[in-house]
Amino acid sequence: MNTDKIILTNAVLIYGCIIVFFFLMKIFGLDNVSELRFLNFLFVFWGINNAIKANINFNNQTSYFNVSSM
């Protein structure tokens, strides 16, 4: 799987989770509770972790930098 496709897929998932989360907060009247907004970090952390795991599984890339080009 292409690295750009992995990034785009996980970015859309993060965006969707945040949209649904804020929509649910608005429905339940919790949009004034600012502490709940910090849960966005959990969605972002989950998406980044998922992208890293997918890159390792599909592309067998475990290093942060591409060493083969040096």
Assigned token pair, 47: 């998406």
Task: Flag whether 40 is in a domain.
Answer: yes
Task: Flag whether 48 is in a domain.
Answer: yes
pLDDT digits (tens, 9 = 90+) for 33-61: 888 888 889 999 999 999 989 888 888 76
Residue 16: pLDDT above 60?
yes
Q: Please say whether the beta carbons of 47 and 13 come within 8 A.
A: yes
Q: What is the pTM of this model?
A: 0.77
Task: Flag whether 67 is in a domain.
Answer: no
Q: Which pLDDT belongs to residue 63? A: 66
Domain count, the chain: 1
Assigned token pair, 58: 């599909």
Task: Flag whether 70 is in a domain.
Answer: no
Task: Give the Cα separation of 32 and 34 in Å (integer).
Answer: 6
Kindly report the average pLDDT of the chain as a whole number.
86
Q: Which pLDDT belongs to residue 36? A: 87
- How far apart, in Å, are the Cα atoms of 4 and each of 11, 44, 49, 54? 10, 17, 15, 12
Task: Give the Cα separation of 56 and 47 in Å (integer).
Answer: 14
